[in-house]
Amino acid sequence: MEKEKSIYINILRIILIILLVCTFFIIFGFSSQNGEQSGGISRKVTETILKVSSNYNKLEEEEKEVVLHRTESIIRKIAHFSIYTVVGCLLMGLLSTYKLKDKWRMIMAIVIGILYAISDEFHQSFSPGRSPKITDVYIDTLGIIIGALFVILIRKIYKQFKLKYCKNVT
């Protein structure tokens, strides 16, 4: 039984590491884009989201451009937050496979995530038309924290469920 559990944990670790590395590659790819490529993608995503709104479609072209410009910045920040929330979930999930207290798992997830966010902003500085932003690191950090807290919450809910409903199951 203990050997089976160990195999399961090792498989889970491998899966989480692969997902984490893939997420890091996705982030790296986005940061490698020059300013024009990155801006073009952001603009298309923002336009797609705004076109769903009937109010946006009723605006004059000049007003649409103002709304598009303002919204695009928000969409970019949401993208940062979202991808780093995934990083936080994956890091905390991986760290949860080790016998550590949640406090130390959280600290390690945040430190690893922040180091990657900083390195990502540094990497971005080498892409033409792009520049590193400390505010992006702050947003990334918030995403990491939320992702890690989400995993802690899910684990606590699972433990409560297990205690309540799996007492008599062998």
In the chain, the percentage of residues whose pLDDT exceeds 90 is: 59
Report the range of poorest mean pLDDT among 24-28, 50-54, 81-85, 95-99. 50-54
pLDDT at position 147 is: 98
Binning pLDDT at 50, 70 and 90, where does residue 97 land? very high
The C-alpha atoms of residue 91 and residue 109 are separated, in whole angstroms, by 5
Identify which of 110, 102, 101, 39 has the alpha carbon closest to the alpha carbon of residue 75: 39
Q: Are 57 and 51 in contact (CB under 8 A)?
A: yes
**Residue 64 pLDDT grade (very low, low, confident, very high; cuts 50, 70, 90):** confident
* Cβ pair 35, 130 in contact under 8 A: yes
For residue 3, what pLDDT band results from cuts at 50, 70 and 90? Answer: confident
Q: Which of 88-97, 108-117, 130-139, 155-164 has the lowest mean pLDDT?
A: 155-164
pTM to 2 decimals? 0.87
Q: What are phi and psi of 162, to 5 degrees?
A: -60, -45
pLDDT tens digits for 114-125?
999 999 999 998
Contacts of 69 (CB under 8 A, 6+ apart): none
Q: H or E stretch including 88?
A: helix 61-95
CA dist list (Å): 10 to 5, 88, 98, 151: 9, 20, 10, 19
> How much is the pLDDT for 169?
54
The per-residue pLDDT for 38 is 86
- State the average pLDDT for the chain: 91
Q: Which of 123, 121, 148 is nearest to 137 (CA)?
A: 121
Q: Is the pLDDT of residue 18 over 80?
A: yes
List the chain domain ranges. Answer: 2-35+78-165
Other Cβ atoms less than 10 A from the Cβ of 93: the count is: 23
